[in-house]
């Protein structure tokens, strides 16, 4: 791979430009989450949850599919020309987005500007050639911090959109994609004139030789890990905006702030993930990331809900005739034993499901109400008073937000852990292997919002997205532990 013995000032300068360009690229790549939510919530688009999830995920699909060819081209020609061209193609896609009218227009524009997601594979390979092996985890972690571009979009795009339409012209939203186009084109020019091209030592190999690692099952296992730590991060970077709007009734701008709070730490902390991976190894770091994600997703999958269940009722101890019913008593008169009074509590406890008060634990309300009336003949053990218990779980927005930020940060650490494994296990094929791993991770970002939309329609629960997270992370954790056991047994 890289023949460098140590990192130089030029190495750090190339890393800086790579990271800056990737930050801009990532901000544009995930812009549909905010834009499409805005257009739907303002009645400009009338789409189903599945249509919304599809268009949000389309750029992610393009970026994923292009990562392998872009990684191959970077290994062959170097990162400078490939990164520059990629940014310019995305700028053209953004210009088309500014003119979109129909559902097909949005898909076509999203497919085109989504290619900018492939800059990750370009940047990974282009960064690796400038650093020695013992610094690659840190360098790739710093580069990957460009994921914070998603937070910039979540933070600023809603405010920009609201200011654009403040004058009453709802069509002014089209200026936002134009702004992204200008940023992408400007970054392409700056990148081209401030970077120096460099190819890996293996750049003269044939395409067949370059693709040979794809036969190794370990590559696809790494791709599964990245499906979790990157794909789900990308999915929630966009899905959290409509999540907060629909579940918690937050304004779009506030929802964007919460979503940016999720995205930003995940991107920035990736550098820490690189350091930890250099120190403890990618397998150990990834394993603990999965453990944390499984635990948190198990908590987040519990929705805001009111559960109705049969409660404690009251039955007649003797047969007779109901002679009185009051607000808290039922009197049954037996011919031999005389009247017998049964007391009940009309209501114990209370809650308001729309309250803004904070509840750490579930609260409940118990209602008891008579099911008989005066003159009714009752038998022994016949139900006189029916009980109903209502349990309210709030799924408080602050608890949800904090846990989401934590799991996002864990995914950020995990992203660095996975690519540390790529650099260590395939030092001569970082572009190709990193490309296919990136493809699978990107596919996770595309498929997951569609699955989220499908689960939402099927269950009616927004929290069903976290059920999906729990299931796939548990599966990946099993794969990882088996692989670690096999590696330990072979030593």
pLDDT band at 210 (very low <50, low <70, confident <90, very high): low
Give, in order, the Cα–Cα distances in Å from 361 to each of 149, 156, 394, 399, 461. Answer: 36, 34, 8, 11, 20
Distance CA 55, CA 68 (A): 22
Q: What is the reported pLDDT for 356?
A: 61
Distance CA 443, CA 104 (A): 21
**What mean pLDDT is predicted for residues 3-14?**
75
List the structure tokens of 443.
């596919």
CATH of domain 305-393: 2.40.50.100
Question: Which architecture does CATH list for 9-302+410-490?
Answer: Up-down Bundle (1.20)
Q: What is the reported pLDDT for 1?
A: 40
Look up residue 375 and give its DSSP letter: T
More confident residue, 425 or 34: 34
Give me the residue spans of the domains in the chain.
Answer: 9-302+410-490, 305-393
Q: What is the reported pLDDT for 472?
A: 94
- pLDDT at 5 > cutoff 60: no
Q: What is the reported pLDDT for 182?
A: 96
Range name among 28-32, 207-211, 222-226, 380-384 with the lowest pLDDT average:
207-211
**385: β partners:** 314, 370
- pLDDT at 288 > cutoff 90: yes
- pLDDT at 2 > cutoff 80: no
Q: What are phi and psi of 316, to 5 degrees?
A: -70, 135
Give, in order, the Cα–Cα distances in Å from 271 to each of 69, 81, 225, 380. Answer: 26, 26, 18, 72
pLDDT band at 354 (very low <50, low <70, confident <90, very high): low
Buried b (16+ CB within 10 A) or exposed e, 63-95: bbbbbbebbbbbbbebbbebbbbbbbbbbbbbb
- pLDDT at 34 > cutoff 90: no
pTM of the predicted model, to two decimals?
Answer: 0.68
**What mean pLDDT is predicted for residues 355-375?**
81
Give, in order, the Cα–Cα distances in Å from 21 to each of 231, 313, 403. Answer: 20, 67, 30
Q: What is the reported pLDDT for 81?
A: 93
Distance CA 181, CA 178 (A): 5
- Residue partners of 123: CB distance under 8 A and separation at least 6: 18, 19, 21, 22, 79, 83, 143, 146
Residue with tokens 């005389």: 338
Distance CA 194, CA 106 (A): 34
């Amino acid at each position: 791979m890289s023949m460098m013995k140590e990192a130089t000032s030029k190495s750090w300068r190339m890393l800086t430009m790579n990271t800056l360009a990737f930050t801009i690229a990532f901000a544009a790549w995930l812009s549909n989450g905010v834009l499409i939510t805005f257009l739907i919530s303002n009645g400009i688009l009338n789409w189903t949850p599945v249509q919304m999830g599809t268009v949000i995920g389309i750029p992610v699909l393009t970026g994923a599919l292009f990562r392998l060819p872009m990684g191959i081209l970077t290994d062959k020609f170097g990162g400078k020309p490939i990164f520059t061209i990629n940014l310019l193609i995305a700028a053209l896609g953004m210009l088309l987005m500014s003119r979109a009218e129909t559902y097909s227009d949005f898909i076509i524009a999203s497919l085109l500007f989504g290619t900018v997601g492939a800059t990750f594979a370009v940047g990974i390979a282009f960064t690796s050639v400038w650093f020695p092996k013992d610094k690659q985890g840190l360098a790739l972690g710093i580069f990957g911090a460009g994921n914070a571009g998603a937070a910039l979009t979540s933070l600023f795009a809603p405010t920009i959109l609201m200011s654009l339409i403040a004058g009453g012209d709802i069509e002014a939203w089209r200026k936002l994609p134009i702004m992204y186009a200008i940023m992408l084109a400007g970054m392409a020019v700056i990148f081209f004139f401030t970077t120096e091209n460099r190819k890996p030592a293996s750049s003269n190999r044939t395409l067949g030789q370059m693709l040979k690692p794809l036969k190794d099952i370990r590559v696809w296992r790494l791709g599964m890990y990245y499906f979790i730590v990157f794909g789900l991060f990308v999915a929630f970077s966009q899905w959290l905006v409509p999540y907060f709007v629909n579940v918690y009734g937050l304004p779009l701008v506030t929802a964007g702030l919460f979503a940016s709070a999720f995205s930003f730490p995940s991107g920035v902390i990736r550098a820490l993930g690189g350091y930890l991976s250099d120190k403890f190894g990618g397998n150990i770091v990834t394993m603990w990331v999965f453990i944390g994600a499984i635990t948190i997703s198990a908590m987040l999958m519990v929705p805001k809900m009111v559960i109705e269940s049969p409660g404690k009722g009251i039955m007649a101890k003797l047969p007779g005739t109901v002679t009185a019913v009051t607000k808290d008593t039922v009197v049954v008169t037996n011919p031999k034993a005389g009247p017998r009074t049964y007391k009940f509590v009309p209501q114990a406890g209370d809650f308001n499901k729309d309250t803004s008060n904070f509840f750490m634990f579930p609260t409940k309300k118990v209602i008891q109400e008579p099911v008989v009336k005066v003159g009714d003949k009752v038998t022994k053990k016949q139900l006189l008073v029916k009980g109903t218990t209502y349990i309210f779980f709030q799924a408080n927005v602050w608890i949800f937000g904090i846990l989401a930020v934590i799991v996002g940060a864990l995914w950020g650490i995990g992203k660095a852990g996975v690519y540390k494994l790529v650099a260590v296990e395939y030092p001569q094929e970082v572009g190709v292997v990193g490309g296919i791993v990136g493809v699978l991770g990107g596919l996770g970002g595309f498929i997951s919002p569609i699955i989220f939309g499908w689960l939402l329609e099927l269950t009616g629960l927004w929290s069903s997205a976290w059920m999906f997270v729990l299931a796939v992370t548990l599966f990946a954790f099993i794969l990882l532990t088996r692989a670690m056991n096999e590696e330990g047994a072979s030593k």
